[in-house]
Structures are given as C-alpha cells and as structure tokens.
Amino acid sequence: MSAESSRQLVWRKSSYSGNEGGECVEVAVAPGSVHVRDSKDVCRPHLSVNAEGWAAFVDFAAAG
C-alpha cells in the first residue's frame, strides 16, 4: 500500500483503550485487507494482512 493510500485509511482503536497513554494498536479496514499500527508512533510502517489472516489471528487471540 502506498503512503498516500495509507493516509486515506480510517484508523480505529478499541473503546477499552485509555486516552492517557499510547499503549494500543489501531486497526484500519480496506477492501480485502486489514492494517495494524502502533498508536504511539503512527508515522512508522504498519502491518497489512488479508481479511482471512486477520480473522485467523482474532480467533487465535480470543481462544487464549
């Protein structure tokens, strides 16, 4: 994804995250992909995975 396209993403973080720190990841959804970045350093590169990979990660994390 180009830097220009990356700037057009709508980033969201969990409502469970506090506003005082920067200890959270942010997620943006685009057609066919999910993007993840560090909320305290948004200028650094972000991770991009396809929708199936993201679903597998969420399922794995939820299983503990």
pLDDT at 29: 94
Instruction: Report the C-alpha gap between 39 and 61 in whole angstroms.
Output: 19
Residues 6 or more apart from 48 whose CB is under 8 A from it? 1, 33, 34, 35, 36
1: its two tokens: 């994804």
- Say what the pTM is: 0.75
Beta carbons of 39 and 24 less than 8 angstroms apart: yes
Tell me what pLDDT residue 8 has. 85
Domain membership of residue 53 as a residue range? 3-63
Domains of the chain: total:
1
19 or 58, which is more confident? 58
What are the pLDDT digits (tens) for 7-57?
Answer: 689 999 877 776 666 678 899 999 999 999 988 888 889 999 999 999 999
Q: Which residue has the higher pLDDT, 64 or 21?
A: 64
Q: How confident is the model at residue 2 (pLDDT cuts 50, 70, 90)?
A: low
